[in-house]
Amino acid sequence: MVSMLKRPPFIGMFAFLLVLMLQGLGHTQMILQEKIFGEEWVFESAALMGVMGMALVYWGVRLNHNENAATWLGFLGGTYIWDGWGEFSFVYYARHLGVEHLVENGEIVTRAEYLVMPSSIGVLFATLVFFYFNRETRCNAFRWLHKHLHMPVGKPTLNYQRNISAIVAMETLYVIWFFYIFLLVIYDKQILGDDHWAMYPIFFGILTWSLYLLNRLRKYTRLPSAFRYGIPTAIITWNAVEIAGRWDMFTEIWIHPEQYTVHMIIVLAAFITVAVIFMLFPGADRPDELEPRSQPAE
């Protein structure tokens, strides 16, 4: 049984589940942080969270020789940087500017910070220019665009040593940021709105894309490679979860931890269990050239 779990498709599926569960747990952490620290100290705690994220990324940089550890630390560091410095900066300025939550039928449908967040779309795309034209990139989406838009950016540097922790942290931050903006834009009733007919093809398009990525992910044989590919795969899938929750197809228990404490404890326990099993998988120190030629690019 144990040896079976160390082979595809289980390595990829465990990677996917880890990142997917952490999306819900991240929402829970943010809500609990606001409740525990209150308005007086919540932003100080958020600033420290960002510092902790930066420290995790730096720790991963120092452990770059251990691909598995560098990948893990980059992912956790990027998540903490986004939650602490990213999301809470929008919370702060929404309160500072007196932005009200969007309320429909007496229920908050969009919190004030998410009404402010789309203002960062220009910075998002402006800074993505650097990453898009980076010839060292291994991003599948960017490489596909380079090829099909006939935009060669040059050959990667021979024997280039990647800074895995920093790359994974920025990938995590940008993928989360991009899809936050995407959802908030299409939720805007002046553009579409969550009850617009176009939301249905968008929803099923995201599901189809997710299944395509999952099919590629299931072929991975190396732990760190699977984890890196699992990050965008799970975050893209989470968008379908968010839209379904917006349509009230189920109760989003991760944003009501005080009502679903036992449920979220079970999710946290499952996350820790999967993480421990995942860390025991082999492949952290095997070089890329040992991968089969059918291995998808990271």
pLDDT for 54 equals 96
pLDDT for 294 equals 39
Kindly provide the residue ranges of all beta strands, DSSP E only, lying in the chain, ordered along the sequence: 102-104, 107-110
Question: Does residue 7 lie within any of the structural domains?
Answer: no
pLDDT digits (tens, 9 = 90+) for 194-236: 999 999 999 999 999 999 999 999 888 888 888 999 999 999 9
Pairwise CA distance, residues 4 & 254, whole Å: 32
Pairwise CA distance, residues 234 & 15, whole Å: 9
**The domain containing residue 82 runs over which residues?**
21-138+163-283
Question: Does residue 80 lie within any of the structural domains?
Answer: yes
Question: Does residue 146 lie within any of the structural domains?
Answer: no
pLDDT for 232 equals 93
> Average pLDDT, stretch 145-149?
91
pLDDT for 280 equals 66
SS3 252: coil
First to last CA, the chain: 28
Question: Does residue 217 lie within any of the structural domains?
Answer: yes
Question: Does residue 6 lie within any of the structural domains?
Answer: no
> Average pLDDT, stretch 254-266?
91
pLDDT for 279 equals 67
Question: Does residue 127 lie within any of the structural domains?
Answer: yes
pLDDT digits (tens, 9 = 90+) for 151-193: 988 888 877 788 899 999 999 999 999 999 999 999 999 999 9
222 vs 2: which has the higher pLDDT: 222
Cα 71 to the center of its chain, rounded Å: 13
> Average pLDDT, stretch 10-29?
89
Pairwise CA distance, residues 61 & 247, whole Å: 41
105: left (phi over 0), alpha (psi -120 to 50) or beta: left
93, pLDDT greater than 90: yes
pLDDT for 296 equals 42
Pairwise CA distance, residues 148 & 153, whole Å: 13
Question: Does residue 156 lie within any of the structural domains?
Answer: no
> Average pLDDT, stretch 57-85?
92
10, pLDDT greater than 70: yes
Question: Does residue 221 lie within any of the structural domains?
Answer: yes
How many domains does one find in the chain?
Answer: 1
> Average pLDDT, stretch 137-155?
88
Pairwise CA distance, residues 94 & 117, whole Å: 9
pLDDT for 176 equals 95
Q: Say what the pTM is.
A: 0.88
